[in-house]
Chains A and B, each alone.
Chain A
């Protein structure tokens, strides 16, 4: 009796697994289609910007395939946050509402501040819609949601993890990178200091940003392998 039940279950599972595999194969084809559209280029491919340096202009492609220039945000402070819907740390920080709170707090300090969410992780950047859905589902309203499948922008900022953050002042100088906050448990609970808010507060007061460099936590940004590190 047990054997016949097991055989039937296995046969049924095999059929269902076959169907599931086919569905996944279709998804892969879809992902490959997105690959070409979902990419960004930079005006200075090998340039790596350090804290204290001017950020050169570069081109971005958003989740809808629309092209943007970094210079479009000229004269405003810009916060760039690296995101990945496949990273549990990024998901935890975002689902807990800490990204939306950061954006609200930042806008209260300076209504002109621009938020750019960037996905440079090759595996998930191949599906721009998934990044857009992930941000929308978590009520993250940014000025731009950028797909950087080639990793050019990520490497320019030396973004190592998600959710790493970088703050650029209104004159275009990189003034902070790269931990989201000082969480003692890799984002499971909020830290006492959100470093973006800290930097924007200091910029507003005309002070030097301090700390200007912290070690970020989270999942590694797994860049596309066809690029050299």
Chain B
């Protein structure tokens, strides 16, 4: 009986919906498969649930700042008393540039980390996480899944993905904002570029991609190319500072400094409060 069910459904579909819709239903394959891939320990000491996305060739999902269009995935924690979901962590994305838009995307398998905070000393709990995502090719689809995570068992492995990035080291790094010209200049030691896949590429290739920054708008979508001089990368980004568009949030300059060209090369997280008061919305 169970083995006949698909045939029965297909026949019913053909009668009710017509051949074209029915074939579309049969042929269509979800372009993204999301799975619960266990837990990892972050360098901050927090525990994070790992969501693995496998993407059908030709489709793409979006980084936390999708670029000119799109939207990042969303997560909602269910049934985990005393635990809360913190800001998700996105690995280094790829850059998709066309004549009309720039997007920051994932087009192969990638892992999204969902850090959680809970009672002191407690290990990560069994929980459900409802996620949704936008995936696009010529058109876009919204996907949804409810993922079940088993309680973490010690020892929890450390997050080891080089694409996750780390905060820009304070040694050898500096950031200045010229309020007259509205240009932010960031310099970092080129020595930070070690461990990239290609030293030659890394020596000439460092770029910045902006995160979502209400009230702080780069003059264009990016990426912004850094220049190399005296063994230092320097990045100068013209900004429009508009406290009235900050939606009541503090003005912050943030994004990723990308070394090398490959999306498995290192990246560093830049997060600089602009110290300009934003008015109430």
| Chain A residues proximal to chain B, CB less than 8 Å | 2, 5, 9, 13, 16-17, 19-20, 23-24, 86-89, 92, 123, 155, 160-161, 182, 185-186, 188, 193, 210-223, 228-229
CA distance A188 to B7 in the complex (A): 35
Q: Which chain A positions have C-beta within 8 A of B71?
A: 89, 186, 217-218
- Using A9-B10, A20-B19, A185-B74 as known contacts, say yes or no to A89 and B140 having CB atoms under 8 A apart: yes
Instruction: Say if the beta carbon of B247 comes within 8 Å of chain A.
Output: yes
Chain B interface residues (CB < 8 Å from chain A):
3, 7, 10, 14, 19-20, 22-23, 26, 68-71, 74, 98-101, 103, 132, 134, 136, 138-142, 212, 214, 217, 242, 244-245, 247, 281
Do residues B19 and A17 form an inter-chain contact, with CB atoms below 8 A?
yes
- Chain A residues lying within 8 Å of B68, measured Cβ to Cβ, are 160-161, 220
Q: Which A residues touch B10, using CB under 8 A?
A: 9, 13
Q: Which residues of B contact A216 (CB under 8 A)?
A: 69
- Asked if B7 and A9 make an inter-chain contact with CB atoms under 8 angstroms apart, the answer reads yes
A182→B134 CA distance, assembly (Å): 18
Q: List 27 A-B contacts (CB under 8 A).
A: A9-B10, A13-B23, A16-B19, A16-B23, A17-B19, A17-B23, A20-B20, A87-B140, A182-B247, A188-B132, A210-B244, A210-B281, A211-B242, A211-B245, A211-B281, A212-B244, A212-B245, A213-B217, A213-B242, A213-B245, A219-B134, A220-B69, A220-B136, A220-B140, A221-B69, A222-B138, A228-B99
Q: Secondary structure of the B side of the interface?
A: mixed
- Give Cα distance in the complex from A89 to B26, angstroms: 24
Which residue from A23, A185, A214, A228 sits with its C-beta under 8 Å from B247? A214
Closest to A92 in B: B142
State how many angstroms separate the Cβ of A119 from the closest Cβ of chain B. Answer: 14
Q: Given A186-B134, A220-B69, is A160 in contact with B247 using a C-beta cutoff of 8 Å?
A: no
CB distance from B255 to the nearest CB of A (A): 14
Interfacial chain B residues near A2, Cβ < 8 Å: 3
Determine the distance from Cα of A24 to Cα of B142 in the docked complex, in whole angstroms: 24
Closest chain B residue to A187, Cβ basis: B71
B20: chain A residues within 8 A (beta carbon): 19-20, 23-24
Given A155-B100, A160-B101, residue A219 in contact with residue B244 (CB < 8 A): no
CA distance A59 to B136 in the complex (A): 31
Q: In whole angstroms, how far apart are the Cα atoms of A182 and B71 in the complex?
A: 13
Using A20-B19, A229-B99 as known contacts, say yes or no to A160 and B69 having CB atoms under 8 A apart.
yes
Cβ of B233 to closest chain A Cβ, rounded Å: 27
The interface residues of chain B lying within 8 Å CB-to-CB of A161 are: 68-69
Chain B residues with Cβ below 8 Å from A16 are: 14, 19, 22-23
Cα of A87 to Cα of B70 in the assembled complex, Å: 11
- In the complex with contacts A19-B19, A89-B134, A160-B69, A219-B245 CB distance below 8 A: no
Nearest Cβ distance between residue B7 and chain A, in whole angstroms? 6
| A220 & B245 in contact (Cβ 8 Å cutoff) | no
A215 and B132 CA atoms in complex are apart in Å by: 20
CA distance A123 to B138 in the complex (A): 9
- The reply to whether B70 and A219 contact each other, CB–CB distance below 8 Å, is yes
Q: A13-B23, A88-B142, A221-B69 are in contact. List 20 more A-B contacts (CB 8 A).
A: A20-B20, A23-B20, A24-B20, A88-B134, A89-B71, A89-B142, A185-B74, A186-B74, A186-B134, A188-B132, A193-B281, A211-B242, A213-B242, A218-B69, A219-B69, A219-B139, A220-B69, A220-B101, A229-B100, A229-B101
By a CB distance below 8 angstroms, the chain A residues around B139 are 86-87, 123, 219
Chain B residues with CB under 8 Å of A17's CB are 19, 23
In the complex, the answer to whether B140 meets A211 with C-beta atoms within 8 Å is no
Residues from chain B with Cβ under 8 Å of A13 in the complex: 10, 23, 26
Listed from nearest, the 5 A-B pairs whose CB atoms lie closest are A220-B69, A229-B99, A16-B19, A229-B100, A20-B20
Nearest A residue to B11, CB-CB: A9
Chain B's closest residue to A15 (CB) is: B19
Partner of A211, one of B19, B141, B244: B244
Chain B residues with CB under 8 Å of A160's CB are 68-69, 101
Q: Shortest CB–CB separation between residue A87 and chain B, in angstroms?
A: 6
Q: Give bound CA distance, A211 to B136, whole Å.
A: 29
Most interface-central of B141, B212, B281 (chain A CB within 10 A) = B281
Which A residue sits closest to B246, measured CB to CB? A211
Q: Given contacts A16-B23, A217-B71, are A88 and B141 in contact (CB under 8 A)?
A: yes
